[in-house]
Chains A and B, each alone.
Chain A
Amino acid sequence: MTRRGLAAGAVSFALALGGMVFPLVSEILMRHVGWRSTYVVLGTVVLLTMAVVGGVLFRTRPEQFGLAPDVGRAGDTTVARARSRCSPRPEALRTVVFWTMSASERRLATHSAQGCCSITTICWAATACPASSL
Chain B
Amino acid sequence: MTTPGQTYGVSPFFDPVAHDLGLSRAAVATAYTLGTLAGVLPAPFVGRWIDRRGPRVAGVLIGLALAVACVVMASSNSALSLTIGFAALRGAAIGALSVGEPARDQSVGS
Contact = CB atoms under 8 A, between A and B. Distances in A.
Main secondary structure of the interface of B (DSSP, over half): helix
**Contact-residue size bin, chain B (C-beta under 8 Å from the other chain):** 35 or more
Interface string B9-52: 10111001100100000000100110011001101110110010
A39 B73 contact: yes
B1 A50 contact: yes
A43 B110 contact: no
B71 interface: yes
B67 A44 contact: yes
Contacts of B9: 19, 22-23, 26, 42
Interface of B: 1, 3-4, 6-9, 11-13, 16-17, 20, 29, 32-33, 36-37, 40-41, 43-45, 47-48, 51, 54-57, 59-60, 62-64, 66-71, 73-75, 97, 101, 104-110
Given A36-B75, A39-B74, A58 B56 contact: yes
